A = this chain, B = another copy of it.
Amino acid sequence: MQPFFRYNWIVREQWYAWCEEVPEEELLKARTGGVGSILKTLFHIVDVEYSWIMFMQDQPDFEDPFDMYASLEQIRALDRRFRPDVEAFVTAWEPSMETRPLPSERPDGTSEVHAWGEVMRHVIAHEIHHVGQLSVWAREIGRAPVSANVIRKGLIVPST
């Protein structure tokens, strides 16, 4: 589990750096698909990761709207604020948590139960999916996207 979170955090930092080179109006521009703009996507990634990890720990959700964080610097600051809690949870992850039940409510009010292992993978895939959308929008504005490679990031040291 940890290598995928570390992968996402590395790629996220690279997208923040990528954003520094792009005019803010391009970062805020409404786009087709996903949640609709580059900065809104980065905010959404940070929000969803934190919210699920708080929810598993029975902690209050984060519900602030994007409008309160509509700049690269504000999103980075929010991410820095959330990271210690997220990282502590991810670092403490162990196999026995895979099937732990998370009772939850569907949008229609009926109840359902997710396994913690499903929720963790949901958070991981959620970011990778939205970053795929960023990669299309990057090309639309004529810029190379950040690499999505998992290899060559030093995530797991091969045995010798």
Hey, which bits of chain A sit against chain B, CB under 8 A?
3-4, 7, 31-34, 98-102, 112-119, 121-122, 124-126, 128-133, 135-140, 145, 148-153, 155-160
State how many angstroms separate the Cβ of A137 from the closest Cβ of chain B.
Answer: 7
State how many angstroms separate the Cβ of A68 from the closest Cβ of chain B.
Answer: 26
B contact residues around A145 at 8 Å (CB): 33
The answer, among B32, B100, B135, B151, for a CB contact under 8 Å with A122, is B151
Q: B157 near A115 (CB under 8 angstroms)?
A: yes
Q: A32-B140, A130-B132, A132-B132 are in contact. Are A155 and B3 (CB under 8 A)?
A: no
Q: B128 near A34 (CB under 8 angstroms)?
A: no
Bound state CA distance, A159 and B151, in angstroms?
A: 34
Q: A101 near B160 (CB under 8 angstroms)?
A: yes
Q: B117 near A156 (CB under 8 angstroms)?
A: yes
Q: A126-B148, A150-B122 are in contact. Are A114 and B7 (CB under 8 A)?
A: no
B contact residues around A137 at 8 Å (CB): 33, 136
B contact residues around A152 at 8 Å (CB): 112, 114
Nearest B residue (CB) for A4: B121
State how many angstroms separate the Cβ of A129 from the closest Cβ of chain B.
Answer: 4
